[in-house]
Amino acid sequence: MTDLELDVRPILRNGGEPFGAIMGAVNSLLPGQRLKLFATFRPEPLFRVMEAKGFGFEATPLADGDWQVLFTPQAPDLVSGGSTPDNPDSWADPNHYLDLTDLDPPEPMVRILARLEDMDEGEVLFALLAREPLFLFPEIKARGHAWAGDFDASGTAYRLMVRAGRQT
């Protein structure tokens, strides 16, 4: 597969901001396709962004002081070192969804724990609740799962993500 090439040097030389163009190019990549980027400097901040998106990189200085960077898509596990329970950013996308806003306690808790029993390690559950499930948290921890949650902007719904731990 040929690399997609993007030269942002003209944008940079005109005093422009190439980030939008770069993201446009990244989003248009075919699965497995690499991105070859030309820039007037070594684009350090971009490396972290692209790492988070699952790309490895290789930066090479060109003769005239410009840089060429080759971004290569990585297999997910190689990039992040696997999802770690204490870092919710590294979790997989949720593949179980529960809307529990209409249930009275302790039913939301029962449903979440029952669902977790059927999940494999590393799978993530997303649940929507009417309030912060304070009695649930110790139970989640005791069973070796990890959770992250907060209220939505309006403060009316609590969003909970639970990453299933190793089943005992």
Partner 1 sequence: MGSTSRWTLAFFGCALACLVGALGLMSAGLAYPHAALMAPQTLIMVHLVAIGWLTLLMLGALLQFLPVLVGGPLRAAGWAPLVLVLIVGGLALLLAGFAAMDGWPGLPAEILPLGGLLLLGGLGLAAFMLFATLFRARSLPLPAGFVALALLSVLVAALLGETLASAIAGLFGGDFAMAIVTHGVPLHAGFGLGGWLTLAAMGVSYRLVSMFLVAPERQGVLPRLAWWSGMAGLAALCTGFGVLLASNAPLPLALGVAALAGLVAVFAYAGDIAMLYRGRRRRALELHMGAAIAAFAALPISAVWLVLAAARESEAGLAAALYLLAFGWLGGLGLAMLYKIIPFLTWLECFAPFMGRKPVPRVQDLVREPRARAWFGLYFAGVALGAAMMQLALPPAVQVAAGLQLLACLLLIRQFYRARLLADLPADWHDFPRPRLLLPQQRSLL
Applying CB under 8 A, which residues contact partner 1? 102-106, 109-110, 112-117, 130-139, 142, 156
Q: Are 70 and 6 in contact (CB under 8 A)?
A: no
**C-beta closer to partner 1: residue 63 or 134:** 134
Share in percent of the chain as helix, strand, coil (round to 5)? 30, 25, 45
Nearest approach, Cβ of residue 103 and partner 1 (Å): 7
Residue 31 structure tokens:
């699965």
Q: How many CB atoms lie within 10 A of CB 2?
A: 8
**C-beta closer to partner 1: residue 54 or 88:** 88
Nearest approach, Cβ of residue 108 and partner 1 (Å): 10
**C-beta closer to partner 1: residue 39 or 109:** 109
Cα 53 from Cα 67, distance rounded (Å): 21
Nearest approach, Cβ of residue 122 and partner 1 (Å): 18
The DSSP output letter for 89 is: G
Apex 70 CA angle, 69 and 71, nearest 5: 115
**C-beta closer to partner 1: residue 19 or 137:** 137
Nearest approach, Cβ of residue 167 and partner 1 (Å): 10
